Amino acid sequence: MFIRSFVTVCKFTFSAPTSPCQYKLTARLISTHKMSKPNILFVLGGPGAGKGTQCAKIVENFGYVHLSAGDLLRAERKAPGSQFGELIEHHITNGTIVPVEITCSLLERAMNESEKNDFLIDGFPRNEDNLSGWNRVMGEKVNLKKVLFFHCSQEVCTERCLARGAAGSGRTDDNEESLRKRFITYENATMPIIRYYEEKGFVAQIDATKTPEEVYSNVEAVLKSL
């Protein structure tokens, strides 16, 4: 995204370099494009909390780009010749968290390839390592606007995930054994991250046990307030 914007400005500039004033204006334009930061909404919640459903509605109505950390990892796992595929498969199957360097790399690549500047990052950061890695690698490159926390009981989330698996989701972790492991990881690793952002005033907690329409009504109110 940033490289494409830079090249576009350069092409326009050097096709008509007619005065020193134009060169100065061009320098300012290039600087602006290079310094442009993506706007980020983190989307967190337990497995089956409905994050993907709500992200789809936000994309449709607000024009955000939805980046699911899990989807990016699953796609990378299946990519022919991926050097991370086997490692990602191991972590997904066991309900553990993929090393932050891999996830940050995939997220940054996806943002750079997009023409838009507003992103939903779904399912990340999921633990302290994710958080410190993100802050170290990406913290100065983005504008964090809000953390949407979809709060839902384990019972409801489990029921939804099992139904999703029975309907043919194709996800190897939509089974009871993997779900138990994922919820342990979520409670022990992700909830402290949510509390961290809550202390900083970034968290908007949303009751995700309601119908998708009711949940989205609350989501819409949060986004309109930004």
Q: What is the mean pLDDT of the chain?
A: 85
Does the pLDDT at position 34 exceed 90? no
- Contacting residues for 176 by C-beta, under 8 A, at least 6 apart: 158, 162
Contact 147, 194 (CB under 8 A): yes
Number of C-beta neighbours around residue 86 at 10 A = 9
DSSP of the chain: -HHHHHHHHHHHHHT----HHHHHHHHHHHHHHHH---EEEEEEE-TTSSHHHHHHHHHHHH-PEEEEHHHHHHHHHHSTT-TTHHHHHHHHHHT-PPPHHHHHHHHHHHHHH-S-SEEEEET---SHHHHHHHHHHTTTTSEEEEEEEEE--HHHHHHHHHHHHHTT---TT-SHHHHHHHHHHIIIIIHHHHHHHHHTT-EEEEETTS-HHHHHHHHHHHHHT-
pLDDT (0 to 100) of residue 7: 41
Please state the pTM of the whole predicted model: 0.76
Instruction: Show Cβ contacts of residue 15 under 8 Å, excluding neighbours closer than 6 positions.
Output: none
The per-residue pLDDT for 28 is: 41
**Pairwise CA distance, residues 217 & 220, whole Å:** 5
Residue 5 — very low, low, confident or very high, per pLDDT cuts 50/70/90?
very low
Portion of the chain with pLDDT greater than 70, in percent: 85
| Percent of the chain with pLDDT strictly greater than 90 | 65
Question: Using alpha carbons only, what angle is made at residue 208 by residues 204 and 209, rounded to the nearest 5 degrees?
Answer: 145
pLDDT at 218 over 60: yes
Would you state the pLDDT for residue 35? 52
| 57/121 Cα distance (integer angstroms) | 14
Higher pLDDT, 69 or 65: 65
Which pLDDT does position 12 carry in this prediction?
37
Which domains are delineated in the chain? 1-36 (no CATH), 37-224 (3.40.50.300)
The highest-confidence range among 20-29, 32-41, 196-205, by mean pLDDT, is 196-205
Q: For the ranges 62-71, 150-159, 167-176, which has the lowest average pLDDT?
A: 167-176
pLDDT of 156 higher than 60: yes
The tokens of 218 are what?
């609350």
- Could you report the per-residue pLDDT of 124-137, keeping only the tens digit for each? 999 999 999 999 99
pLDDT tens per residue, range 179-215: 999 999 999 999 999 999 999 999 999 999 999 999 9
| Residue 67 bridge partners (DSSP) | 121
